[in-house]
Amino acid sequence: MNSAVDTICARATASGIGAIAVIRISGSKSIDVISKCFSKSLSNADSHTVHFGVFHTLDGVAIDEVLVTIFHHGRSFTGEESIEISCHGSPYVQQQILDALLASECRMASPGEFTQRAFLNGKLDLSQAEAVADLIAAQSKKAHQIALSQLKGNLSSDLKTLREELIAFASLIELELDFSEEDVEFADRTQLKELVAKVLKTVRQLADSFALGNALKNGVPVAIVGAPNTGKSTLLNQLLGEDRAIVSDEAGTTRDVIEETLNIEGILFRLIDTAGIRETNQNIEAMGIERSQQKIKEASIVLCLADATDKTNLSETQSWSKELREIHTDKKIILLSNKSDLVKNDVTEGIYLSAKEGIGIDVLKAEMVKAVLGEMDLENDTIIANARHHEALIKTAEALEKANTGLYDGTTGDFIAMDIRQAMFHLGSITGDISTDDLLGSIFSKFCIGK
Ligand SMILES: Nc1nc2c(ncn2[C@@H]2O[C@H](COP(=O)(O)OP(=O)(O)OP(=O)(O)O)[C@@H](O)[C@H]2O)c(=O)[nH]1
Ligand SMILES: [Mg+2]
């Protein structure tokens, strides 16, 4: 059977009980298949029309009252003739309907097969197809925003511009090659240098945006660290607005890592409360401390909590956070003077905070948001959130750097043309202009069945 043209079906909604469920069919026999199991004839139905009737088995046993939506060839998500059956959300009903479809001329869709067909039929490019998966998985406003922008084709159009610029470059180089036999050297390669520099800058910007995109997609890890009893668990609870972690005036209360998610201004943060760091002979506490140190490594933002009532702790935390800042230049280290409610008239370091009274929490939240977004303008800048795209952009940049070096070293045009072709190849792999079955397989197999 030719898998590209046979008719496939699958549940499009989550399994389990729901008010309604949607079953999708796609392929050239979609209308034939439904016609055998539906109380009304749909062979003359217009595209984008909805029909109420009874779905029955091939033997005529009624299963459910359903709504059938028709999409004609070329006018559906996949680009093929498609049907959506909205039935009641009982798992039994859904299974009966699927069984009837499978007994007709349908086969079960494999993971991501609907989206893969949309890609193969030119309805979406590869980066847009991947955005479908990201959109479904988005857990916060910002992650949703990035996925939607990619689905709408913003990344695709940026890449298209880059590609056109590289083609322009390649044609200039070709011109040089054409004249090479006459020993004409383009002594002045200024224009070429400018073009490569321009493209390289954009490619690097896109690649760099991955740090932010990835953080927004998966949640920004925030480690709350400090000496025992400084109020780390109190701060976690205050940020969450609930008593999640045990708070006590005994040092060493938190022994293991506690993780909770928090949404601030549409950004998902993963807050991590850790065991207080100090010298200890106790095994369990020592293990907790080791994990705290591990969590600092994994975090993008580290909240260093000091006890403002304890001068020694305050200066120790201050120098410790300074050290962290020097070692981890890619992390945002925020120093907090907690329990400031007890030292009102004293000078404190970092953010003035009372985790217990909720003072300074808004300032802290604003700092956290600022640490994530930096100078980025999410509304207008294209942001990469996909590791595959990031990798391809890095490779594109590498090839462009080689071309750039070649231009300055006076390398002959044919070598530079080769580097440019490499750059175009990697760029093209993002949108799927250049793709292999292996690549497609690995991308679409990560989708759920029904997508
Ligand atoms: N006055 C005041 N007390 C606070 C504040 N924050 C925490 N505390 C108190 O400090 C004590 C320790 O708080 P925890 O939140 O358990 O401290 P911790 O850093 O998680 O401690 P360990 O888990 O043992 O490392 C508790 O008695 C809290 O009520 C604050 O801002 N002001
Ligand atoms: Mg604690």
28-86 pLDDT, tens per residue? 999 999 999 999 999 999 999 999 999 999 999 999 999 999 999 999 999 999 999 99
How many other CB atoms are found less than 10 A from the CB of residue 399? 22
Please give the pLDDT value at position 289.
65
* 62 CB near ligand 1 (under 6 Å): no
Question: 99-113, 278-292, 326-340: lowest mean pLDDT where?
Answer: 278-292
What's the token pair of residue 394?
Answer: 């890095």
How many other CB atoms are found less than 10 A from the CB of residue 174? 13
Amino acid letter, 113:
E
Decide yes or no: CATH 3.30.1360.120 for domain 7-124: yes
| Cα maximum dimension of the chain | 86
* pLDDT band, residue 187 (cuts 50/70/90): very low
Question: Is the model more confident about 420 or about 253?
Answer: 420
- What is the side-by-side strand order in the sheet with 258-264? 258-264, 267-273, 220-226, 301-307, 332-338, 351-352
- Out of 234, 235, 314, give the residue to mutate to test ligand 1, the one with the largest number of ligand atoms within 8 Å of its CB: 234
Please give the pLDDT value at position 348.
64
Evaluate if residue 2 carries a pLDDT over 60: no
Helices assigned H by DSSP within 229-303:
232-240, 283-298
| Cβ proximity of 219 and 270 under 8 Å | yes
Tens of pLDDT, residue by residue over 369-388, are 999 888 777 777 888 989 99
CATH class of the region 219-373:
alpha beta
Pick from 121, 76, 98: nearest CA to 21:
98
What's the token pair of residue 265?
Answer: 């201004």
Question: What are phi and psi for residue 301, nearest 5 degrees?
Answer: -125, 135
Could you tell me the distance, in angstroms and rounded to a whole number, from the CA of residue 333 to the centre of ligand 1?
Answer: 20
| b/e sequence 410-441, b meaning 16+ C-beta within 10 Å | eeebeebbbbbebbbebbbbbbbeebeeeebe
Domain coordinates in residue numbering, the chain: 7-124, 137-214+386-432, 219-373
Please give the pLDDT value at position 250.
83
CATH of domain 137-214+386-432: 1.20.120.430
What's the token pair of residue 156?
Answer: 């695709």
Q: Enumerate residues 6+ apart whose C-beta is below 8 A from 187.
A: none
Please give the pLDDT value at position 326.
93
Please give the pLDDT value at position 202.
93
Please give the pLDDT value at position 1.
37
> Would you give the end-to-end CA distance of the chain in angstroms?
22
Evaluate if residue 3 carries a pLDDT over 50: no
Atom of ligand 1 nearest to the CA of 246: 16
CA-CA distance, 79 to 124, in Å (whole number)?
10
